[in-house]
Every structure is written in structure tokens, then in C-alpha cells.
Amino acid sequence: MKNIVVFASGYGSNFQAIIDAVEAGKIKASICGLIVNKPGVTAMSRANKHHIPLKIMNPRDFRDADLYSEAMLQQLLEWKPDLIVLAGYLLKVPEKVVNAFTGRIINIHPSLLPKYSGKGFYGLYVHQAVLENDDNETGCTVHIVDNIYDNGPILAQARVPVHKGDRAEDISKRVREKELEVFPDVIASIINKSY
């Protein structure tokens, strides 16, 4: 059985979609851990409900960045993930971790990369930029994580229309619905092809 570790920062709707796909047998793997960067987020209650081990790793809780990245790396080595999935994780993964799991960390981003990428482009900020630039479509992108924000090779993209009169919240809802379809599919194709 393959192992997946998920990183999340908030509500955890993509995390839940991954849990559902694992429990349905669509993704032939076990979720062996969840890492969150702050206490009290809804993703934690989802992990608890499904008996998934969980670790809070906030960089502010460590004396320096090296200790933080080493602690994260050690936790991951203990869990032995075949794939690390960033599901709404808002922090940059430490370089030491990315280098240790090269090609085995994926992220979903709420735009059609390379548009609206990099530090500060997350959530409604992305969708507001779509509106300000009068784009007639947007979407989401699943990509491999490297040491530059939103930069690694693209694995899949899904497009959604932008309608006249849309607010950022309208676009967010449409993109999120697409994410919940696409992300489990990509994870399944990565995990299942190795069987």
C-alpha cells in the first residue's frame, strides 16, 4: 500500500476529497499523516474523524528555519510518504524537504499557471486578479512542487468560465468545485500507475 501525506492550512475541502477518494478505493493508498501550520483549522477535525495522524508545524514554534525544516523532514521520514500533497497549504515547503522528496510533492493552485502565481497569490487574491484583468476564463492547476512558488512542471489543468457580473467569491466557488474533481484524479493516476 502506498502512503500519502497531506499538508493543509485551512478548511480542508481538498483534503476531504482525497479522503473520500481513498475510502472509495479510487486512490489505492493510505493517508498516513496530515501536517497543518496552525492549530484549530477545520482540516484537523477531518483528520481526527478519519483517524489520520496529525502534526502541527508552525515555523514560529522553532528557534530558526533550519530546526523547522529538519523537524518537518524527520516527521515525513517517519511517515514514509510515497507522495506529499499540498491541499490548500499556504506556506512555502522548506527547500530541504523539497530536495528530499524531489518529484514527489504536488500542489493544486487556483489559477491557470503560470498566471497569477507566486507569493501572495492565493485564495480570493487570485480570483480578484482574474477580474481586474478581465479574463474570460480561469481554472486550477496541479503541478509538481520545486523550490520556487507555483513553478514546477504542470500535471493537469482544468478551466472554468468567468461570467459577466462575477465576484471573486463566485469564481472561487466554481474553481473549488473543479479542484475537488481534478485533484483526486491526478493523485489516483500518480499512485495507481505504480501498481
Task: Given the residues 109, 127, 143, 163, select the one marked as catalytic.
Answer: 109
Terminal C-alpha separation, the chain: 9
* CA quadruple 7, 9, 12, 14: dihedral sign: negative
> Please, are residues 62 and 34 in contact by the beta-carbon 8 Å criterion?
no
Cis peptide before 114 (omega within 30 of 0): yes
Alpha-carbon span 91 to 7, nearest angstrom: 10
In degrees and rounded to multiples of 5, residue 30 shows phi and psi of: -115, 140
Q: Is 109 noted as a catalytic residue in this protein?
A: yes
Q: Minimal CA–CA distance to 149: which of 100, 87, 107?
A: 107
Strands 54-56 and 29-36: parallel
> Please, are residues 9 and 35 in contact by the beta-carbon 8 Å criterion?
no
> Please, are residues 87 and 11 in contact by the beta-carbon 8 Å criterion?
no
Q: Which residues are the active-site residues?
A: 109
